[in-house]
Structure 1
């Protein structure tokens, strides 16, 4: 007795049969080769008359299962695309322990290496980077050879060509001619003598006028005046005014500090230069009376110069006092009683006053006492 099945029961039977074939189909997919791009042909264990299963009619689902199986295959890995290679290089570098056969051919990425771009490796374009990056990337260009620069010193300029002597001074006076001072009789003699130098006047008087004549020399000697120190005094007073003129005029600024000294230092040196030149001129000419009078005149002017707060700034002032004291001693020793009792006694009074400014001036006291005693003995 045959029992007829209903359509619903027939459909459920087909579903059970399809579900029972799933394990066998998955087992067959594991043996698919790597180069297969389409799902492998699974042998049909059913007969020809059996109905087609649900997997045979739904091919996209079967393709996805095949791709999953190919991806999980341990024997063969898929070839990555160029974009995937660049993305993997941008991430953290995984150091290879040497298991890969081509580990030595691929250089490791250093910390300061730039991110790779989609530029072919065979390009000839040189990318700009800092020297430190070039050193780390191993593409250091050859160092340029140092260029030899010429010496920066300026060559000396020659006033004349080498081998030629300098040009001789032109003689404006004709041979055998006379100077205009001898030809021009209208000009006074005193005015013409002002243009002469000191050495010219000495040669004129001693060499031409006296010329070894004792009477003429004695007559001229009795008429020689004492050197005039008034122009020297005017120069010293002018130098002192320049010192005080250089000082700050504001009531808020001190006139004896370091800043004021820096402004007056130049004029102080000029004042010292004038003292040295004047005393040397009188000392070399052996005019002891004029030298002693000059010391008496210059000492108060020197005392009136500023006394600075710092001891180092008063060195120039102290040197000037020492210069005057030395010439005072030289004038008293060499002049002696010839200086006159009036001048010697006036100097004796001045020494007591000058001792407050310079202590070493007392060394002149003994020489002055001897000169005074000799002068009194001759009276």
Structure 2
């Protein structure tokens, strides 16, 4: 019998009669002698070897090999002595000393964190910059607010009352204030009027099969039409009450064009608001021309613009005759 056959025979006998021993250990024992000869591993031996290995999941093996051990400081037994002396006299630290060292390091690392920002240490440059910023904020807060900013926060009624009180207390300022009064700006008045005009067209329904100027559409925008009419008339009257005749003429000419761009309705009765705007503006224009005192070139320019306005509505045509009389009086 050859040595290889003898080795297999011994292996099989050990597996049958000694089930508690590891097959790999039996194989190693049987072949560890001086007479053992290295032989290739058979498929049966490979299966036995794989069964004898400890089966662990890849995740557990990776955790055991790559993850460092984590010591829970809270679970350490603090009742042990800080150190023990071995029989040889050497000083051996215990678990408590290691925990104390970890605690000290944690205390040193967290000592920079404080609930109060003033108590927490910080770099010198940062502290100086923060102090400079606080000083600069204090300096800006203590600066007095300019009179122009304070006046801008007041309403027009408050400003009028303030200026009137100053003129009453100091009558000598009346003449100077009258000379310094600027020409009224009608830009905000026209923006307001244009806003109401756009609201009319925004409220018009989309009519694909019928007219967009019929009674149904008018009822949808009637409120906006009335708002436009009242705004147009009241703003012109406001300028006339202030005695700003030149600004009143400029407003009338611009508002005349704005009124002409409003819708013309199929029903004549629905155009009353538009006709009322033209009529009131024409009346205001007559009064403004009569009360105004402009130079000849200014009246000639107004006449040209009035002739253009007649093409929109002829109710303003009598104003042209009044301008001609003003031009003739000026030499």
Task: Write out aligned runs for 1:275-290 (5 A).
Answer: 275-290=232-247
TM-score, with structure 1 as normaliser = 0.47
Q: In the aligned structure 1, how far is the partner of 2:146 from the partner of 2:183? A: 24
2:208 aligned partner: 251
2:174 aligned partner: 217
SS, match of residue 263 in structure 1? helix
Deviation at 1:186, TM superposition (A): 3.1
2:328 aligned partner: 373
1:341 aligned partner: 296
**1:318 matched to 2:275:** yes
2:148 aligned partner: 190
Q: In the aligned structure 2, how far is the partner of 1:229 from the partner of 1:342? A: 21
SS, match of residue 339 in structure 1? coil
Q: In the aligned structure 2, how far is the partner of 1:186 from the partner of 1:269? A: 47
Q: In the aligned structure 1, how far is the partner of 2:295 from the partner of 2:313? A: 25
Kindly indicate whether the alpha-carbon contact (under 8 Å) linking 1:308 and 1:314 is maintained by their aligned counterparts in 2.
yes
Aligned residues: 190
Deviations 1:34-68 (A, max 9, x none): xxxxxxxxxxxxxxxxxxxxxxxxxxxxxxxxxxx
Unaligned runs of 5+ in 2: 1-141
Deviation at 1:225, TM superposition (A): 0.6
Kindly indicate whether the alpha-carbon contact (under 8 Å) linking 1:256 and 1:307 is maintained by their aligned counterparts in 2.
yes
Kindly indicate whether the alpha-carbon contact (under 8 Å) linking 1:288 and 1:339 is maintained by their aligned counterparts in 2.
no
Q: In the aligned structure 2, how far is the partner of 1:242 from the partner of 1:349? A: 31
Kindly indicate whether the alpha-carbon contact (under 8 Å) linking 2:306 and 2:317 is maintained by their aligned counterparts in 1.
yes
TM-score, with structure 2 as normaliser = 0.53
**Which of the numbers 213, 226, 230 marks the counterpart of 1:273?**
230
Instruction: List structure 1 runs of 4+ shifted beyond 6 angstroms.
Output: none
Kindly indicate whether the alpha-carbon contact (under 8 Å) linking 1:322 and 1:358 is maintained by their aligned counterparts in 2.
no
1:236 aligned partner: 193
In terms of Rg, which structure is larger?
1
Kindly indicate whether the alpha-carbon contact (under 8 Å) linking 1:289 and 1:331 is maintained by their aligned counterparts in 2.
yes
Q: In the aligned structure 1, how far is the partner of 2:260 from the partner of 2:324? A: 25
Kindly indicate whether the alpha-carbon contact (under 8 Å) linking 2:253 and 2:306 is maintained by their aligned counterparts in 1.
no
SS, match of residue 185 in structure 2? coil
**1:206 matched to 2:161:** no
CA shift in 2, pair 1:339/1:255, >3 Å: farther
CA shift in 2, pair 1:222/1:248, >3 Å: same
Task: Write out aligned runs for 1:1-379 (5 A).
Answer: 186-209=144-167, 211-214=169-172, 216-335=173-292, 338-375=293-330, 377=331
Deviation at 1:259, TM superposition (A): 0.9
Deviations 1:338-368 (A, max 9, x none): 2333332122122223223333322212211
Deviation at 1:224, TM superposition (A): 0.9
1:142 aligned partner: none
Kindly indicate whether the alpha-carbon contact (under 8 Å) linking 1:229 and 1:290 is maintained by their aligned counterparts in 2.
yes
Deviation at 1:212, TM superposition (A): 4.4
Q: In the aligned structure 2, how far is the partner of 1:212 from the partner of 1:189? A: 19
Unaligned runs of 5+ in 1: 1-183
Deviation at 1:262, TM superposition (A): 0.8
